[in-house]
Amino acid sequence: MHLNPYGEDAVNLAADLANRRPATAGELADRCQAAGLVLDRPVTPQDLERTHAVLEAWEKVVDATGDHERAELVNRMLTESAAYPRLTDHAGSGWHLHYRDDRQPLGSVLFALIAVGTALHLVGRGMHRLRRCAVTECTTIFADTSRTGRQRYCSQRCANRDAVRRHRAGRAAGGMDSRS
């Protein structure tokens, strides 16, 4: 996986893993590979454990109440995870930057990737563009990569669900919705 200037793939991978936590090292490996990550060593239970810790920290970033708190939490992740950036062509897929030391286990790779990817996403697209779905009982996290930056729902399904609910609430409140 190459980090693009907006960190999109990395932040989407973080959301995917956080929304549905991998249960085994094998599943973690499969899902990282599906997301385009090149694994250059076997994935272990320690990697899975480390990944859960990364996601724990990352969900705090998602749930931060303001920009400063969010920045502070991302900075903490960056401090713990990142080494100096370096050019690499380790997978023969083109030169790109790594923000970590070479030959790290997957857990550490994910820590650096998610921290840097999230930082790039937030500064590139907007500090507010990381949140949970607006449907109360849906806790799905998403990175808002929309053009307007005003995405409120994790999916079209949740958007429809909320529209129906607001419509019903409007009618219950005394026919506020004149079209019904």
Q: What does the binding site for Zn ion look like in residue numbers (CB under 5 A)? A: 133, 135, 138, 140, 154, 158
- Closest contact distance (angstroms) between CB of 38 and Zn ion is 6
Would residue 36 be called left, alpha or beta, if left means φ above 0 and alpha means ψ between -120 and 50 degrees? left
- Closest contact distance (angstroms) between CB of 158 and Zn ion is 3
Q: Identify which of residues 76 and 162 has a Cβ nearer to Zn ion in the complex.
A: 162
Q: Identify which of residues 32 and 158 has a Cβ nearer to Zn ion in the complex.
A: 158
* Residue 88, beta-bridge partner list: 96
- Closest contact distance (angstroms) between CB of 111 and Zn ion is 14
- Closest contact distance (angstroms) between CB of 152 and Zn ion is 9
Length of the chain: 180
- Helix H or strand E encompassing 96: strand 96-98
**Residue 173 DSSP code:** T
Nearest Cα residue to 154 out of 134, 136, 137: 134
Q: Identify which of residues 136 and 178 has a Cβ nearer to Zn ion in the complex.
A: 136
Q: Identify which of residues 61 and 154 has a Cβ nearer to Zn ion in the complex.
A: 154
Distance from C-alpha of 6 to C-alpha of 123, rounded to nearest angstrom: 8
Q: Identify which of residues 9 and 54 has a Cβ nearer to Zn ion in the complex.
A: 9
Distance from C-alpha of 118 to C-alpha of 138, rounded to nearest angstrom: 22
The β-bridge relationship of strands 96-98 and 86-88 is antiparallel
- Closest contact distance (angstroms) between CB of 178 and Zn ion is 29
